Structure 1
Amino acid sequence: MDSLTQIVLGAAVGEAVLGRKIGNKAMLYGAIAGTIPDLDVLARNFVDTITATEAHRGFSHSILFCVLVAPIFGWLVNKIEVKKKLGWKPWAWLFFWGFFTHPLLDCFTTWGTQLFWPFDWRIAFNSIFVIDPLYTIPFMVCVIWAMFLKRTSSKRRKINWAGIMISSTYLALTVVLKLVATQKFKDRLDSQNIEYKEISTRPAAFNTILWNSNVETANSYLLGDYSFFDTQPIKFDDYPKNRRAEPVYESAQAREDLERLKDIAQGWYLMENKDGQWYFYDLRFGLRPVNEEEEAFVFAYIVEEGKDGLIVNETEKNLEDAGLIFSQLWQRTQGN
């Protein structure tokens, strides 16, 4: 999830663990704990694109990280907050839950979270977009409200827990909505007698009303969308796999790097040659509008063979497209 959401969640968890003893400082350190796992993005400054992408939501999002690192931060903060005289264990407990709830929430998004690292198993329930105002805003209101109440107040605890329960209930609701939307896609495929190997569904940006689907058939991928306000049948766009047309690289390292990219995309990928340049598309995150007539994949990488393997660069996302994206998203969410 986005940084603001993780800060809010961490603050609420910090309050639940130590708020009664130390007040708003529990929220502060909880917010810090909720932010730390995402510092793995800094790897982009030191390693290649593939390695950095593999590392994202890896060790820093694992149970092992929580167990190993929480005592270190507990000891460190206990040295800083000498006047509190809590000892390192309560601080470590706060950081453990701040660390642990971060990847637990991330498991519900699309990217996938290696909660059981070093085992290469990414958990992705695909039920909530990385930014969802309906999850974050009510939660944030409760946390800010609690912040201005006395630390010994029972009302403070109730409001903080209300935020946790409201957000958790909404998270559970997203799973139910996903199951309903997935069944709608399956029913449409069955009605068209389309045989498919696998189907993956996820919410569109910023909401859980509009849902996208990726469907794998023998020779192509079908991409479709469904809004709970739709009145017309679901339509699927066909994207041929064209696996035989994919580039064959000379070096073993380049071929291995390409396989790593495929693993990152969990097999949901296409490759395309445009103007002599090869592009790798991660289909899990769908399409975005470029203009009124054209769309592009959200995650696209330019790939070429270099001396030491595959050179991979993610294509830039034009922020000027934001107005068009929101406009089309709003229109499509209202139904077809």
Structure 2
Amino acid sequence: MSVSSLCKKMVMETEDPNQTMVDYFFLEGLMYTAEHPSLFFLLFLLIYGITITGNLLILITVGSDSHLCSPMYHFLGHLSFLDACLSTVTVPKVMDGLLTLDGKVISFEACAVQLYCFHFLASTECFLYTVMAYDRYLAICQPLHYPAAMNRRMCAGLAGITWSLGAVHSAIHTSLTFRLLYCGPCRIAYFFCDIPPVLKLACADTTINELVMLANIGIVAAGCLILIVVSYIFIAAAVLRIRTAEGRQRAFSTCTSHLTVVLLYYVPPVCIYLQPRSGGAGAGAPAVFYAIVTPMLNPFIYTLRNKEVKRALKRLLGQGSQKSPAGSPPS
């Protein structure tokens, strides 16, 4: 079945002008993947497998090792869960579209759910990075007050606030995007349902939506980034006052991992959401990086740069290897 015939079936005939006319959308996918779909399917399968395995391993390690009970690792567990979910929102659908033409089809409701989930998880991650920077600021700049200021109740409260803000932030964008009338065309020039490419298909003026997107995402992202930068200015000043080289190195090592993932997270979205009218197949490259590649890299960044996590992983894997095989008597 051709794409044009699929699109004809995706548009509902209705006499009510206020009713949404598009029943399904067609995701065009990523550029250059149509030439070798099987190769790209295996590539995304590998990336997805590494992402889920790596983040779940970090999550299990943080949750089971008593040595990783500090607030930093509490937030790292949240980050690993967010990364695993963020990858799950996009990658399986991309893989489905590489297998069959029907796999590129997504219903109107499923498109709305995908857009909401993606922005919910991505914005929650944005707020979480800010909280993690604040945690590092307290730990390094105010070490005497840190245990009382960042107690278990405070950690749970900050984590809950990040998830709540992410849910509200995403609900605003999803409701504004899908309140519009979509009467055709139905082809989304992207690999998942995101705000800029979906707005291009609206049969209405999207100026207000684009202004709200620029203001909302811009204010949230810029505000979080400013708070992170300010936190690390104070952190850098405090670290430089440490007399021993070993102390400075240890303090910097706990921060470089966070700074690395913050840079990987912030740069690609700026290329996409600050240019709403550029959301097309060409904008897929930066989106792939922060939606698919970054969630895979985060576990490696934190384990390779963090000695405590590496030791905890060795203890976890060592316990598994020391267990006796099923059915064999203990030695």
TM-score under structure 1 length normalisation:
0.32
User: Which structure has the highest strand share of the two?
Assistant: 1
TM-score under structure 2 length normalisation:
0.32
- Kindly indicate whether structure 1 or structure 2 has the higher relative contact order, using CA contacts under 8 Å at least 6 residues apart: 2
User: Which structure has the highest helix share of the two?
Assistant: 2
